């Protein structure tokens, strides 16, 4: 006897390319999914990315209900990622709602329920025809309850209510001691459970993602999501730019490096690596292009002094605002902090050719070419201490 084919589970794309690839389409449509992990692992970032991509790329409005951060705090935190939450709110593509939950104001009784939350959330969903919902985080909602019977009953009601509304929902949760979540209950009523992990070993920061459960779908059980996309589909340029060394340009088809390429200059101490880089910076500034130099050994003043001895004077380019130095000790912070500093420096607007010259004063009030202070900035000391603490926890 022939059986009718089983319908394939409908999925909603998150817009997070690597995640959509390993899940063969995204999160289960019309069902709740749990995203859990420790502090700083990216739960809120995952959730807000899911919501913003839905509103901007897939024509699916969304509701973000926060039990911790206010709407203003959330908008400010994600603005650096290029997410314009105020604009999406004004255009009725997203609703942000902050629900304040005070543990001292919660009385645990047999009549405790989430009916008021359902009314508030239902109104937000209906006001914009939302197809996606985020609840961040579930621990804050149940922070004052210890009765496991009430917890289990209300969690099941919440997840059933979300399914009945037909929305695709992401619920974030804090990881517990020996359990995926603090209450250890949510994973039993979620259709998909995604575990995020952030660990630092030997000052190398690694973020990992693991799909613990996905009802009705095959998936990549363990995956590592890189900072960049899993795909290599970026545009490349055939334009050439000078290396600043005429004979080297001759060796490179007489034209130099390809613009937008990454060049590794390797050699032993004293072989001229820094000199090759200095020629390249000098040539770029002579073309009127802005340049950045990141140093992890010598100070900017030492580099400029050494280069001047071989006939390369970089000081005029610093004075004109075309050349900028950033120096940091490699042990000062983890790789992620270095990458973050580079991104900020590259993205920040600088003076263009022909504009008013700039002295290039840093946030600490010191010029770019000044020697780095011996004492690390407080943000770096805090970050290093945090990295070392996480590394000890992982080794333990």
**Could you tell me the two tokens for 102?**
């005070």
Q: Please state, in angstroms and rounded to a whole number, the distance separating the CA atoms of residues 203 and 217.
A: 36
| DSSP-derived secondary structure for 286-348 | HTT--EEEEESSS-HHHHHHHHHTTT---HHHHHTTSEEEEE--GGGS-HHHHHHHHHHHHHS
Pair of tokens at residue 49: 């990315």
The structure tokens listed for 104 are: 């001292």
Q: Can 115 be counted among the known catalytic residues? A: no
How far apart CA 317 and CA 170 sit, in angstroms, is 50
- CA gap 239, 241 in Å, rounded: 7
**Of 108, 115, 239, 297, which one is the catalytic site residue?**
297
- Chain-centre distance for alpha carbon 298: 30
Q: Estimate to the nearest angstrom the gap between the alpha carbon of 289 and the chain centroid.
A: 29
Give whole-number Cα distances, 341 to 46, 179, 333, 335, 380, in Å.
Answer: 22, 35, 11, 10, 11
Alpha carbons within 13 angstroms on the beta-carbon side of residue 199 total: 13
Q: Are 67 and 142 in contact (CB under 8 A)?
A: no
Q: Is 68 a catalytic residue?
A: yes
Q: How far apart are CA 393 and CA 396, in angstroms?
A: 5
Is residue 28 within 8 A of residue 192, CB to CB? The reply is yes
The answer to whether 172 and 45 have CB atoms below 8 angstroms apart is no
Number of Cβ within a 10 Å radius of residue 368: 21
Instruction: Select which of 17, 68, 289, 298 is catalytic.
Output: 68
**Closest Cα partner for 54 from 86, 27, 78?**
27
CA 256 to CA 254: how far, in whole Å? Answer: 6
Enumerate the active-site residues: 68, 297
């Amino acid at each position: 006897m022939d059986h009718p084919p089983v319908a394939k589970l409908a999925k909603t794309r998150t817009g997070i390319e690597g995640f959509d690839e390993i899940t063969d389409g995204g999160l289960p449509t019309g069902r709740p999914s749990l995203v859990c992990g420790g502090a700083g692992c990216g739960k809120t970032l995952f959730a807000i990315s899911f919501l913003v991509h839905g509103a901007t790329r897939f024509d699916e409005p969304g509701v973000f209900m926060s039990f911790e951060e206010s709407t203003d705090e959330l908008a400010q935190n994600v603005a650096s990622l290029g997410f314009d939450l105020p604009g999406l709110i004004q255009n009725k593509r997203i609703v942000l709602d902050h629900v304040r939950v005070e543990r001292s104001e919660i009385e645990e009784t047999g009549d405790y329920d989430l009916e008021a939350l359902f009314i508030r959330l239902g109104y937000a969903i209906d006001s914009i025809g939302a197809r996606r919902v985020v609840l961040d985080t579930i621990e804050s909602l149940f922070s004052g309850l210890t009765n496991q019977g009430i917890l289990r009953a209300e969690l099941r009601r919440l997840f059933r209510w979300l399914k009945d509304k037909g929305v695709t929902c992401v619920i974030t949760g804090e990881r517990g001691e020996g359990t995926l979540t603090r209450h250890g209950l949510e994973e039993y009523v979620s259709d998909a459970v995604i575990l995020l992990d952030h660990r630092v070993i030997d000052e190398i920061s690694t973020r990992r993602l693991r799909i613990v459960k996905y009802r009705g779908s095959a998936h990549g059980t363990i995956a590592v999501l890189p900072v960049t996309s899993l795909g290599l589909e970026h545009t490349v340029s055939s334009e050439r730019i000078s290396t600043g060394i005429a004979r080297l340009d001759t060796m490179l088809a007489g034209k130099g490096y390809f613009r937008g390429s990454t060049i590794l200059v390797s050699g032993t101490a004293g072989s001229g690596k820094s000199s090759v880089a200095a020629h390249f910076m000098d040539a770029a500034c002579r073309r009127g292009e802005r340049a950045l130099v990141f140093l992890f050994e010598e100070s900017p003043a030492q580099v400029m002094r050494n280069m001047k001895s071989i006939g390369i004077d970089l000081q005029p380019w610093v004075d004109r605002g075309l050349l900028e130095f950033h120096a940091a000790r490699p042990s000062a912070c983890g790789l992620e902090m270095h990458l973050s500093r580079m991104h900020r420096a590259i993205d920040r607007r600088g003076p263009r050719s022909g504009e008013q010259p700039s002295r290039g004063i840093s946030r600490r009030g010191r010029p770019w070419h000044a020697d780095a202070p011996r004492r690390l900035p407080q943000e770096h000391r805090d970050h290093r201490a945090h990295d070392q603490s996480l590394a000890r926890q992982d080794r333990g």
